[in-house]
C-alpha cells in the first residue's frame, strides 16, 4: 500500500493509568483529557470506583473527571483488573499503604503473570499478602503500617518501580529504588510535575518520607508511542507516500524503537517538539525505507519492550539477521511473546527462532503468507496485521478484537492511512 495523510494515535496507556491513580490520590477534582479509552484503562477506572473514587465514564472525545480527596476505601468485592498488568501491579503498590484487605484478580492471561516481583518488596515494606495460587493473582493484600525501603530490582520494570513509589506515597514512608536499566519514568515525571520532591543519586530514585500531598491537576495525555509504533511500521513498509503521526509522546524511555529503526535505515522526523506536563511530545513524519538488520542490545530493551513484536515484524523485511538480546521478559507479557513472535513469523515463512533469552529473525523479500495465532494479545494482533499490509501478503489473524486493549480504532486507522482505503490498503483479513 501507499500511505498518506495524518493520524493521531490513542492516549498513552502507561500515562493514562498513572493519571487516574494519582488523580484518585490527589486533593480535589482532577480533569484528564486524551485518556486512552482502551479496555486496560477502563479496568483501572473500574477498580478505582470500587475503592470509593468518583471517576466519570472513560469515553472517546470527552475529558474524565476524578474526584480525589478521600483515601482509598475498603472494596466490597474482588477487584477485577481484567487483562491489565499495570492496573494490578500499580494498585498493589497503592493498596500496600492502606489498612484494609482487598482481593485482586484478572482474566486468564493476567492470572498467569508473575506478581512476586511486586509483592516481595511490598512485603519487605510491611504489607501482608496472601497468595491463593503461588506467584500470580488472585491475591489478597492488607496494607498499612509500612516502613522505609531501599530496593534493588532484579528486572528493569516500570511497574515494579511505580508500585513501590505509590506504596511510599500512600504509606508515607521513604523508598529508594535501583533498577538494572532505566525503565519508563512516567510516574516520576508526573510526581515531579505535581510538585513532589523526588531525587536521583547514583542511578537510584528516592521518594522522601511523608513526601507530601498531591494537588488536583489537569492533564492532557499525549498519544501512545507504543501504538504509534504500528503506524510508523506500516509507513516504513509502504510502497510510497508519507505519513504524519500527530501528538506522540517521545519520552526517551519509550522511543528505543525509533533509535533501532534509524539503525535499520528508516529515519523518522520529529516535528513540533513540545512539552506536556513534563513529557516531551512531537509529531512524527515517516516515509517508506529499505531496511537492514541490526542488533538490539540488552540495555535498549526497556526502551522498546512493548515494540519487540513490531520490530521483529520489520526485521522479517530487512536484509540480514536481526538479533534481540535479553528479551526474556517477553515471556511474561500478555502472552508468551518471545515464543509466539518466533512461531508466528515461522508460520508466515520467515526464519525466526528464540534461543535462550535472545530472538533471531532473518529477513526475506517473499510476501508473508499464513495463519497467525495472536493468543488474544493486542500487540501480536497489531504487529502481524501490519505485516499483512505488504503487497502479496496473506496474513490471517486468529482474532482481532484484542486491539481494544490499547488501540480500539487500530484497524480503522490502518485502513485510513492506506491510499485507496479498504481493499487496496486493507490489512490482515479476519478468519471466520
Ligand atoms: C508498563 C511497563 C512495562 C510495559 C507495560 C506497561 C507500565 O511493563 O511492558 O506494557 O505502564 O508501567 P514492565 O514494567 O513489566 O516492564
What was the pLDDT predicted at 18? 98
pTM of structure: 0.96
Pinpoint the alpha helices (H) of 98-255: 116-125, 158-171, 186-193, 225-237
pLDDT in tens, 120-158: 999 999 999 999 999 999 999 999 999 999 999 999 999
Q: Among 13, 158, 164, 249, which residue has the most ligand 1 atoms within 8 Å of its CB, making it the best to mutate?
A: 158
What DSSP string describes 352-374?
Answer: EEEETTEEEEE---SPPEEEE--
State if residue 86 touches ligand 1 by the CB under 6 angstroms criterion.
yes
What was the pLDDT predicted at 432? 31
> For atom 10 of ligand 1, which residue has the closest CA?
306
Q: Is the pLDDT of residue 79 over 90?
A: yes
What was the pLDDT predicted at 74? 98
Q: Among 157, 308, 383, which residue has the most ligand 1 atoms within 8 Å of its CB, making it the best to mutate?
A: 157
Q: Is the pLDDT of residue 237 over 70?
A: yes
Give the active site residues.
Answer: 306
| Average pLDDT estimate for 348-365 | 98
Contact criterion met (CB below 8 Å) for 341 and 325: no
Q: Is the pLDDT of residue 299 over 90?
A: yes
Q: Among 11, 14, 190, which residue has the most ligand 1 atoms within 8 Å of its CB, making it the best to mutate?
A: 14
What was the pLDDT predicted at 319? 98
| Residue 256 or 424, more confident | 256
pLDDT in tens, 186-215: 999 999 999 999 999 999 999 999 888 999
| Average pLDDT estimate for 165-194 | 98
| Residue 396 or 431, more confident | 396
What was the pLDDT predicted at 51? 98
pLDDT in tens, 252-291: 999 999 999 999 999 999 999 999 999 999 999 999 999 9
State how far the Cα of 97 lies from the Cα of 429, in Å rounded to an integer.
Answer: 47
Q: Is the pLDDT of residue 70 over 90?
A: no
Q: What confidence category does residue 101 fall into, taking pLDDT thresholds of 50, 70 and 90?
A: very high
**Angular region, 28: left φ>0, alpha ψ -120 to 50, beta rest:** left
What was the pLDDT predicted at 400? 98
Parallel, antiparallel, or unpaired for β 29-33 and 64-67? antiparallel
Mean per-residue pLDDT over the chain, rounded: 96
What was the pLDDT predicted at 147? 97
Q: Is the pLDDT of residue 423 over 90?
A: no
State if residue 14 touches ligand 1 by the CB under 6 angstroms criterion.
yes
| Average pLDDT estimate for 357-364 | 98
Q: Which residues on adjacent β-strands are paired with residue 352?
A: 361
State if residue 157 touches ligand 1 by the CB under 6 angstroms criterion.
yes
What was the pLDDT predicted at 429? 43
What are the cell numbers at 309? Answer: 513484536
What are the cell numbers at 290? Answer: 529499505
State if residue 313 touches ligand 1 by the CB under 6 angstroms criterion.
no
Q: What confidence category does residue 421 fall into, taking pLDDT thresholds of 50, 70 and 90?
A: very low
CA of 151 to the centre of ligand 1 (A): 18
Q: Is the pLDDT of residue 426 over 70?
A: no
Q: Which residues on adjacent β-strands are paired with residue 303?
A: none
| Average pLDDT estimate for 373-380 | 98
CA of 84 to the centre of ligand 1 (A): 10
What was the pLDDT predicted at 183? 97
> For atom 13 of ligand 1, which residue has the closest CA?
157
| Average pLDDT estimate for 36-61 | 97
Amino acid at each position: 500500500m501507499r500511505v498518506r495523510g495524518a493520524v493521531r494515535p490513542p492516549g498513552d496507556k502507561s500515562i493514562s493509568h498513572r493519571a487516574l491513580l494519582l488523580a484518585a490520590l490527589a486533593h480535589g477534582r482532577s480533569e484528564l483529557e486524551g485518556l486512552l479509552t482502551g479496555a486496560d484503562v477502563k479496568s483501572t477506572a473500574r477498580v478505582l470506583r470500587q475503592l470509593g473514587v468518583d471517576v466519570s465514564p472513560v469515553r472517546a472525545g470527552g475529558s474524565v473527571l476524578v474526584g480525589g480527596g478521600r483515601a482509598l476505601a475498603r472494596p466490597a468485592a474482588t477487584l477485577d483488573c481484567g487483562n491489565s498488568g499495570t492496573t494490578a501491579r500499580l494498585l498493589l503498590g497503592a493498596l500496600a499503604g492502606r489498612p484494609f484487605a482487598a482481593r485482586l484478580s484478572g482474566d486468564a492471561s493476567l492470572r498467569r503473570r508473575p506478581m512476586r516481583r511486586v509483592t516481595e518488596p511490598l512485603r519487605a515494606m510491611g504489607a501482608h499478602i496472601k497468595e491463593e495460587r503461588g506467584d500470580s493473582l488472585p491475591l489478597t493484600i492488607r496494607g498499612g503500617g509500612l516502613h522505609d525501603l531501599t530496593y534493588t530490582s532484579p528486572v528493569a520494570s516500570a511497574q515494579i518501580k511505580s508500585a513501590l513509589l505509590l506504596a511510599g506515597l500512600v504509606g508515607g514512608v521513604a523508598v529508594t529504588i535501583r533498577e538494572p536499566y532505566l525503565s519508563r519514568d512516567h510516574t516520576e515525571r508526573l510526581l515531579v510535575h505535581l510538585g513532589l520532591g523526588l531525587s536521583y543519586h547514583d542511578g537510584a530514585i528516592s521518594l522522601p518520607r511523608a513526601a507530601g500531598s498531591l494537588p488536583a491537576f489537569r492533564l492532557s495525555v499525549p498519544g501512545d508511542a507504543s501504538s504509534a509504533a504500528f503506524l510508523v511500521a506500516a509507513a516504513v513498509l509502504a510502497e510510497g507516500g508519507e505519513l504524519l503521526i500527530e501528538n506522540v509522546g517521545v519520552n526517551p524511555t519509550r522511543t528505543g524503537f525509533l533509535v533501532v529503526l534509524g539503525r535499520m535505515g528508516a529515519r523518522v522526523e520529529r516535528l513540533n517538539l513540545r512539552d506536556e506536563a513534563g513529557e516531551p511530545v512531537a509529531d512524527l513524519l515517516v516515509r517508506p525505507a529499505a531496511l537492514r538488520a541490526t542488533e538490539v542490545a540488552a540495555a535498549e530493551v526497556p526502551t522498546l519492550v512493548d515494540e519487540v513484536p513490531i520490530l521483529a515484524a520489520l526485521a522479517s523485511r530487512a536484509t540480514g539477521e536481526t538479533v534481540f538480546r535479553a528479551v526474556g521478559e517477553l515471556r511474561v507479557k500478555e502472552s508468551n511473546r518471545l515464543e509466539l513472535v518466533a512461531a508466528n513469523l515461522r508460520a508466515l515463512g520467515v526464519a525466526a527462532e528464540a534461543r535462550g533469552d535472545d530472538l533471531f529473525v532473518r529477513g526475506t523479500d517473499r510476501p508473508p503468507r499464513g495463519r497467525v495465532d495472536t493468543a488474544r494479545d493486542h500487540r501480536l494482533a497489531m504487529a502481524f496485521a501490519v505485516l499483512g499490509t505488504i503487497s502479496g501478503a496473506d496474513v490471517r489473524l486468529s482474532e482481532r478484537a484484542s486491539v481494544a486493549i490499547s488501540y480500539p480504532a487500530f484497524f480503522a486507522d490502518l485502513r485510513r492511512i492506506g491510499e485507496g482505503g479498504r481493499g487496496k490498503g486493507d490489512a490482515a483479513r479476519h478468519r471466520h
